Amino acid sequence: MPRSQPASLLGHLRFWVRARALALPGLTLLMAACTSVPLPPWTPTAVRQPSSARIGPETSAKVVPPVVQVFPVASPATIGAPPVAPADQPTPYSAAVAARFPAPSVVYSTPGLQAGRAAFTTQAEIRAWLRDQVTAAARSAGITAAVLSIGESQRGEPLETLILTSATSTDPATLLAAGKPTVLLVAQQHGNEPAGSEALLVIASELAQGLLRPMLQSINVLIVPRANPDGAASNQRATAGGLDMSHDHLLLDTPEAQALARLTRDYQPTVVVDAHEYAVAGRFLQKFGGLQKFDARLEYATAANLPEFLTKAAEEWYRRPLLAALKAQGLSTEWYYTTSVDLADKIVSMGGARPDTSRNVNGLKNAVSLLIESRGADIGRQHIQRRVHTLVTAVTSVLSNTAQRAGDLAQLRPYIEKEVSAEACRGQAVVDAALTPAQHELVMLDPVTGADKSIMVDWDSALVLEPLKARARPCGYWLSAGSTKAADRLRLLGVKVLRVVEPGSLLGDSYHETSRATEPHQDARGANADAHVSLMRGVLDAPRGSFYVPLNQPLGNLAFAALEPDTQDSYFANQILGSLQSTVRVMAEPNISFEELP
């Protein structure tokens, strides 16, 4: 095989390192990291030559559809009187459109999917369901299950996770020591998107006592069926405080996002699935005169500075099998896409590169991070069995592929972590990046006839990012002693933070703000400040009690996204850091005494 198309991931890595080493000095440490960690075969793909701008791989390789089983589950007794669901079906929505989405042959049975039911599963019913799975798992040897409290919502609702494993205990240390990949499944970060929650109840039952149970010999699974219970109770997208928690995974202003951050910090999942639903009508009907068509929209992490091979794993080991699994069930798919609230703006965008969503933040935590959206956030109970079927099929594919790739993932993760750690003090890092303008044929539905309606749209692609601003990657960041809020948020994310125990000196670049603009944010968080800075090199006195955040750690790219003041969601621009004088980018390895914060 030609060297431009190595047959394995290891071969591709060695080729890439040799090519880079010819042009860049000082890659000895990275070369050592490549050879010290055995890496899995990379199949089945034709590999492109590496590119610093491209983060998305080719999508033309054929895959063999995996066998994905789907199943009904038994329903427990309904608990409590359910609230009445709002009538939010979009208009127009003709019988011809409805006929395009027949119900699946399988009938799922959760509390919220009962015949004649007016509303979806209540919070009390979810809590009872999770505990029923723990009881069911205990009836047979070999599976350990527990319900873990991870926090409370803004209105005091418990936030809970079901943990299922073949390990003898569900505590993080035991699961991490066992070395099996952990999959985190999260649904209903947006309260008005119910199908994900119902689907994860099905998945929980099948893992605890059904067809998916054998997978627990190879993987651990964490399930958060409803991340935003307050929003679900009010059938609203945002949390009780009005923030969109789905865009709060870097700043962590909501207790709901903080709870998920603690969970990922402690259990370090290898794969994260964020289950959503999308609106059928809304802005797309207003802008393009069509209803949205696809049963599932899919995307993985697309932030700047992601490790190249994490993106390849997301595409080749997960998205392509997902497409095959959904197609085998007669379900249609497309990339995730969105559009602005401005009706005159006809650009359609593949999400974005902002390091604020669960998808992108978990990618910067070196997890394969997948967004899966079913069709139906605004159509009440219409097609609910098909929507749940879509998500159950997709999540089953993810679990199956993780179980099959458990050994590969166990080898890939250490390599990625070493690669990220080795980048400290070297090379360039992207501060800001833009999606790449393109054209895309988007298929919609005529709202009256139900026929396909193809529209050529301006399409901002997230598969290739255009770097707008880059600068030398520092060794780390010094933070003033008063920057405890920033230090605490970083630690909650899992970033290692050190405290200075003996005063010393650091060589670093201080920041000076040159201008600032306020740009609209396309979600419930409102405006986002966009700072512009210049740098000045000097020697800094680091007093006792101040902080140091090294970049030679696995979450170095996440720390960079938070602490460079002119990234898209920086701690400075969002006032988690009080001023530019609170931080300095350290440009040489410090020789100071530190202690690691617990």
| Residues 97-104, mean pLDDT to the nearest whole number | 97
Query: Computed over its alpha carbons, how large is the radius of gyration of the chain?
Result: 24
Least confident of 3-7, 226-230, 294-298: 3-7
Q: What pLDDT score was predicted for residue 201? A: 98
Do 300 and 368 meet the contact criterion of CB atoms below 8 Å apart?
yes
Asked whether residue 28 carries a pLDDT value surpassing 80, the answer given is no
- pLDDT tens digits, one per residue of 161-220: 999 999 999 999 999 999 999 999 999 999 999 999 999 999 999 999 999 999 999 999
Q: What pLDDT score was predicted for residue 72? A: 40
* pTM score of the predicted model: 0.87
Q: What pLDDT score was predicted for residue 420? A: 98
Q: What pLDDT score was predicted for residue 529? A: 54
Q: What type of residue sits at position 206?
A: E
Do 351 and 254 meet the contact criterion of CB atoms below 8 Å apart?
no
Winning range, highest mean pLDDT, from 28-32, 40-44, 462-466 = 462-466
Better-predicted residue by pLDDT, 23 or 139: 139
Give which of 358, 162, 365, 375 is closest to 245, Cα–Cα.
358
Residue 575: C-alpha distances to residues 154, 194, 529 (Å): 21, 33, 10
Q: Where does the pLDDT of residue 3 fall: very low under 50, low under 70, confident under 90, or very high at 90 and above?
A: very low
Asked whether residue 11 carries a pLDDT value surpassing 70, the answer given is no
Distance CA 401, CA 399 (A): 6
* 3 state SS of 326: helix
| Residues 142-156, mean pLDDT to the nearest whole number | 97
Residue 505: C-alpha distances to residues 240, 478, 481, 538, 595 (Å): 46, 11, 15, 10, 16
Task: Give the burial class of 241: count Cβ atoms within 10 A of its Cβ; 0-12 exposed, 13-18 middle, 19 or more buried.
Answer: middle
Q: What pLDDT score was predicted for residue 140? A: 84
Q: What pLDDT score was predicted for residue 499? A: 98
Task: Give the burial class of 474: count Cβ atoms within 10 A of its Cβ; 0-12 exposed, 13-18 middle, 19 or more buried.
Answer: buried
Q: Where does the pLDDT of residue 589 fall: very low under 50, low under 70, confident under 90, or very high at 90 and above?
A: very high
Give the side-chain half-sphere CA count within 13 A for 161: 26
What's the DSSP call for residue 358?
A: H
Task: Give the burial class of 482: count Cβ atoms within 10 A of its Cβ; 0-12 exposed, 13-18 middle, 19 or more buried.
Answer: middle
Domain boundaries, the chain: 9-50, 106-276+293-331+355-422, 475-596
| Residues 541-554, mean pLDDT to the nearest whole number | 98
Asked whether residue 264 carries a pLDDT value surpassing 50, the answer given is yes
Q: What pLDDT score was predicted for residue 89? A: 47
- pLDDT tens digits, one per residue of 109-118: 999 999 999 9
Q: What pLDDT score was predicted for residue 519? A: 59
CATH 1.10.3720.10 at 106-276+293-331+355-422, yes or no: no
Q: Where does the pLDDT of residue 82 fall: very low under 50, low under 70, confident under 90, or very high at 90 and above?
A: very low
- pLDDT tens digits, one per residue of 499-512: 999 999 999 999 99
CA triplet 278, 395, 492: central angle to 5 degrees?
A: 80
Do 475 and 119 meet the contact criterion of CB atoms below 8 Å apart?
no
Better-predicted residue by pLDDT, 11 or 370: 370
Do 248 and 569 meet the contact criterion of CB atoms below 8 Å apart?
no
Q: What pLDDT score was predicted for residue 338? A: 95
What sign does the dihedral 389-392-395-396 (CA atoms) show?
negative
Q: Token match 């909650």: residue?
A: 492
Distance CA 269, CA 260 (A): 11
Q: What pLDDT score was predicted for residue 531? A: 78
Looking at every residue in the chain, the average pLDDT score rounds to 86
Q: Token match 């992601």: residue?
A: 306
Least confident of 15-19, 98-102, 262-266, 546-550: 15-19
- pLDDT tens digits, one per residue of 313-358: 999 999 999 999 999 999 999 999 999 999 999 999 998 899 999 9
Q: Which residues contact 120 (CB under 8 A, 6 or more apart)?
A: 82, 85, 112, 194, 197, 198, 232
- pLDDT tens digits, one per residue of 419-453: 999 999 999 999 999 999 999 999 999 999 999 99
Asked whether residue 32 carries a pLDDT value surpassing 70, the answer given is no
